[in-house]
Amino acid sequence: GDSVTQMEGPVTLSEEAFLTINCTYTATGYPSLFWYVQYPGEGLQLLLKATKADDKGSNKGFEATYRKETTSFHLEKGSVQVSDSAVYFCALTQYGNKLVFGAGTILRVKS
C-alpha cells in the first residue's frame, strides 16, 4: 500500500538557520503531496501542497518540490523562526482517497 516516510526528529535549530525535513513516499500511481503543520494543542493546518511532478508548493517561506524521480517531497525554509516550532507532517492522497501520513517531525527552534 501507499506509505510516507519522514526523517525522525526532533530537529533542533537556531533561529535563522536553514531547515530541511526529508519526506519520501511509496505509491503506485500519481499522488497529490502535502505538508501539514501542527502547533501544540491544535489541529493540523495545511502548509503547502503539490499535485503533479515538478510542482513546487510554497507558503510562509516554506517550499517543497514534487520529485517523481526520487519519490520525494522535502520541506525547506531558508531562515527559521522560533514561531516555526511545531510538528510537521508529510502526507499523500490518491484518487480522492484517504490521506496517508508520515510519522511527523518535531521542529524546535531556539532563539
Partner 1 sequence: GAVVSQHPSRVICKSGTSVKIECRSLDFQATTMFWYRQFPKKSLMLMATSNEGSKATYEQGVEKDKFLINHASLTLSTLTVTSAHPEDSSFYICSARQRGTTDTQYFGPGTRLTVL
Residues that bind partner 1 (CB under 8 A): 32, 34, 36, 41-46, 49, 51, 89, 93, 95-96, 98-99, 101-104, 106
Location of C-alpha cell 526523517 = 7
Minimum distance between the CB of residue 105 and partner 1, rounded to whole angstroms? 10
Pick between residue 84 and residue 88 the one whose CB is nearest to partner 1.
88
Would you put residue 7 in left (φ > 0), alpha (ψ -120 to 50) or beta? Answer: beta
Q: 14 or 97, CB closer to partner 1?
A: 97
Q: Which residue, 16 or 54, is less far from partner 1 as judged by CB?
A: 54
Q: How many CB atoms lie within 10 A of CB 96?
A: 6
Query: Are the C-beta atoms of residues 38 and 105 closer than 8 Å to each other?
Result: no
Q: Which three cell numbers stand for residue 93?
A: 492522497
